[in-house]
Amino acid sequence: MATLTDRAAWFIGASAQCDTTPENTGHVWHLVLLGPPGVGKGTQAEGLTQALGACHLSTGDVFRASKSTPVELRSPALKTALGAMGRGELVSDDLVVEMVRERSGCFRCQGGFLMDGFPRTVAQAQAFDAMLEEKGIALDAVVSYDLPLDEIVARLSGRRTCGTCKAVYHVTARPPKVADVCDACGGALLQREDDQPESIRVRLKAYEESTRPLEEYYRGTGRLVPVSADGSPDAILQRTLEALSQIAPTGGA
């Protein structure tokens, strides 16, 4: 079984090294997880990391981690990004692309990667393609999750996230053993600022307008793998692994 990584290189940027890197003895997967806010991408990433050995690279996690930067040390760009995030709006393409570019060494992680939350617009997808091409890496698949709207809202409203290790829970569907305490590390479980009803509405609208077109974009590359996000996390994980077993890996390393 793969070990979870500390993801220091992804969180901190180019100069940082991870203390632990995934042990990957099989195919090195390069995947994008696509789908509306709350569909369960982060939850699936936990299982997929264990099953495939690939590192979970989430742009949302990087922005949330940057909230620990003291307010007086935040750059104007970071302040703008955090403001947009809190309201449920997308952060600007320029800023996100630059942030990912600074961390593009992670694309060559020996475990491979699961990109979660990026790209989110066609402009970001084009910039991502160029970065991957520079590094000689081809995406194996873009796993596209979907779920009816009312179930998405229920998942987002009940979500709790560990402030320390970022593990994801749900008050009814995936509760921790002890209320508000992370099973994995004992950290406090928190509700995300953007899981309030008004921010959820804005995020879902942004998804339909800006991110939904990526399904067509990646269908055109032949790499779109649609997977239903209905059912338990384990059932969805098995469905995802089954779908991945049907595709021919690119061999791009």
CB 230 within 8 Å of CB 118: no
Residue 54-93 contact track with ligand AP5, rule CB under 6 A, x = bound: ----xxx--x--------------------xx--xxxx--
Q: How far is the CB of 1 from ligand AP5 (least distance, A)?
A: 20
Applying CB under 6 A, the site for ligand AP5 has a residue count of 37
Q: What is the DSSP letter of 59?
A: H
Say whether 101 is catalytic. Answer: no
> Does 166 sit near ligand AP5 (CB under 6 A)?
no
For residue 10 the two structure tokens come to 């992804």
Q: 208-217 as b/e, with b when 16 or more CB fall inside 10 Å?
A: eebbeebbeb
Q: Is 155 among the catalytic positions?
A: no
> In this complex, which beta carbon is closest to ligand AP5, that of residue 29 or of residue 128?
128
- Residue 238, token pair as written in the block: 């098995």
| Stretch 206-245 residues interacting with ligand AP5 (CB under 6 A) | 232-233, 236
Q: Which CB, 140 or 194, lies closer to ligand AP5?
A: 194
Q: Are 155 and 38 in contact (CB under 8 A)?
A: yes
- Annotated active-site residue 41? The verdict is yes
**119 cis-preceded (ω within 30 degrees of 0):** yes
The whole-angstrom separation of Cα 200 and Cα 128 is 26
Name the residue type at position 66: S
Q: Counting contacts by CB under 6 A, is residue 144 touching ligand AP5?
A: no
Catalytic site includes residue 159: yes
Distance CA 79, CA 72 (A): 10
DSSP H/E element including 214 = helix 213-219
Which is it for strands 112-116 and 55-58: parallel, antiparallel or unpaired? parallel
Does the annotation mark 192 as catalytic?
A: yes
Report if residue 117 touches ligand AP5, rule: CB under 6 A: yes
Site string for ligand AP5, 90-109 (x = CB under 6 A): xx----x-------------
Nearer to ligand AP5, 17 or 205 (CB): 205
Residues at the contact surface with ligand AP5, assessed by CB under 6 A: 35, 37-43, 58-60, 63, 84-85, 88-91, 96, 117-118, 120, 124, 155-156, 158-159, 168-170, 173-174, 194, 203, 232-233, 236
Active site residues: 41, 120, 159, 192, 203
